[in-house]
Amino acid sequence: MLDVLTGFVAELREAGLPVSLTETLDAAAALGQVPLDDRALLRGALAATLVKSSAHLETFSTAFDVYFSSTRGPGAAGPGSDAPGAGSQAPEPWPAGGDDGPEAVGAPVAPGEPELDVLLDAALGRGDPVASARAARLAVALYAGFERGRPVGISYYLYRTLHALDLAGRLARLSEAVGRAPADDGRRLGMPAGPLGDRLVEDELAVRADVLRGQVEAEIRGLLVDERGSAAVARTQRRPLVEDVDFMHATRDEMVRMRRTLYPLSRLLAARLAKRRRRGRAGSLDFRATIRRSLSSGGVPLEPRFRAARPAKPEIVVLADLSGSVATFARFTLHLVHAISSQFSAVRTFVFVDGIDEVSRIFDRSPTIESAIARVAAEADVVHLDGHSDYGHAFGVFAQRWGREVTSRTSVVVLGDARSNYHDPGAEQLALVARRARHVFWLNPEPRAYWGTGDSVVEAYLPVVDAMVECRNLRQLEDFVERLDP
């Protein structure tokens, strides 16, 4: 068991979770306090000792399902098994393969599709957990086409099995049959008659189908773990932590995960900025006043004197490129900047492609940041000619129309990849703004190795800005916001 735990902790570290030696020892101690055949309790104990952020729970769960997956074969039931108790013998439904060619899993020893139909009806129609587990195992044996030594992952076998099961069709037929049943019929799943009852029935059937899908995936994962080992399967299942997902290449699911993380991240950053402001309220040491005060104590400076602090919240001006290549990055950055706006006296937002428009009014009048960003994409006037990025024209218009409103209290933050489609970069226009501003920072979502290649004009802006920062994910964005001087 300690070998399994060591491999599990190593996988968590490879995935990016910060797991210390002390926490590993705590996890080992927890294993001695929980029944190893109770997967839910085991998962909770390990999560309590190894996970420090809710954003890391998904990565933890993926690794847990691999390292504590159910195994097959005589006497294989253990801490990851779904068997009633440790030491019981799991059934062996797979026929032995031949000596030539890959070992293929064909049909199970048990009967085939008629039995599967009965099990599926019991799993989906009555919510029988035992029937659901048996149906998942039989479906994988019938339809997955598992071949030992074949270099494919879980998703391949999962697709084949679910496609053959046609759960959507089964659910539709069940839902229709339940809808025609009388109100007091047992097929109503305890739901009332009428539209509301029909909707509740559909939701209940969908939940049962999700349970079955999860059991099918667990069954396939167990087969692969038995064949390849936990470490090999974990590598194929490894996903980056939400804070390390690249803005420019995020999938839809990853974008949803990042949005969920933005709110607690913004609260944390706002609290840190406020704390730094409170620490700075004492002001700087007034050396002369301290020495003068020490005359009453024989020259010993018992009571330091400080100059009166004049804290002033700075202003933030955001210039965000909304062209297609960086639109996702700009939306996430705008979300975070406006979420911490309470720490600044004003946040003014400008968006551009080849034209530029101020959209601060949209943020002021929208009930939520999400709705404001959606309205910006729909209402902002950012196209001047052809709708392709033209940084030079955008900076020129900004300097001409709003440049005088930039003061020594203003920090300007530019969001974009500095790819200007071979137009004039307009660095001198940005320099006019920089001479009036307190700071000019540039957040670039492209890898640093790509700067200056193709139509990138990064070199023209580097002498102008205080810093151009690579900002490809939430971790780098958090690091930048913490460096802002409130």
Confidence (pLDDT) at 74 = 34
Q: What angle do CA 16, 20, 22 make, to 5 degrees?
A: 155
Cα–Cα distance measured from residue 396 to residue 425, given in angstroms and rounded to the nearest whole number: 10
pLDDT at 18 over 90: no
pTM: 0.62
pLDDT in tens, 319-331: 999 887 687 888 8
Residue 164 has pLDDT above 70, yes or no: yes
Rounded to an integer, the average pLDDT of 170-198 is: 67
Q: Is 414 exposed, middle or buried (0-12, 13-18, 19+ CB in 10 A)?
A: buried
Assess whether pLDDT exceeds 60 at residue 156.
yes
SS3 287: helix
pLDDT in tens, 35-60: 888 888 998 999 999 998 877 888 88
Q: 44 or 69, which is more confident? A: 44
* Chain center to CA of 44: 21
Structure-block tokens of residue 83: 């068997």
Token output for 427: 């660095």
Residue 199 has pLDDT above 50, yes or no: yes
Segment 89-108 shows an average pLDDT of 36
Specify the pLDDT at position 88. Answer: 35
Please write the tens of the pLDDT for every residue from 393-423: 999 999 999 999 999 888 899 999 999 889 9
**Helices (H) then strands (E): counts for the chain:** 19, 6
Q: At what angle do helices 167-180 and 195-228 cross, to 10 degrees?
A: 150
Which residue, chain included where needed, has tokens 């029988």? 128
The answer to whether residue 299 scores a pLDDT higher than 90 is no
CATH-assigned architecture of domain 252-284+313-483: 3-Layer(aba) Sandwich (3.40)
| CA-based nearest residue to 355, from 330, 319, 405 | 319
Q: What is the pLDDT of residue 305?
A: 80
When pLDDT is averaged across residues 171-182 and rounded to a whole number, the result is 72
**Residue 227 pLDDT > 80:** no
**Structure confidence by residue, pLDDT tens digits, 119-142:** 888 888 778 888 888 888 888 888
Distance CA 286, CA 290 (A): 6
Mean pLDDT of 358-373: 84
387 CB neighbour count, 10 Å cutoff = 13
Per the CB < 8 A criterion, the answer to whether 439 and 415 are in contact is no
Beta carbons of 111 and 262 less than 8 angstroms apart: no
Cα 174 from Cα 209, distance rounded (Å): 12
Q: How far is CA 297 from the centre of its chain?
A: 60
Q: Would you state the pLDDT for residue 312?
A: 60
Q: Which two tokens stand for residue 378?
A: 């729909």
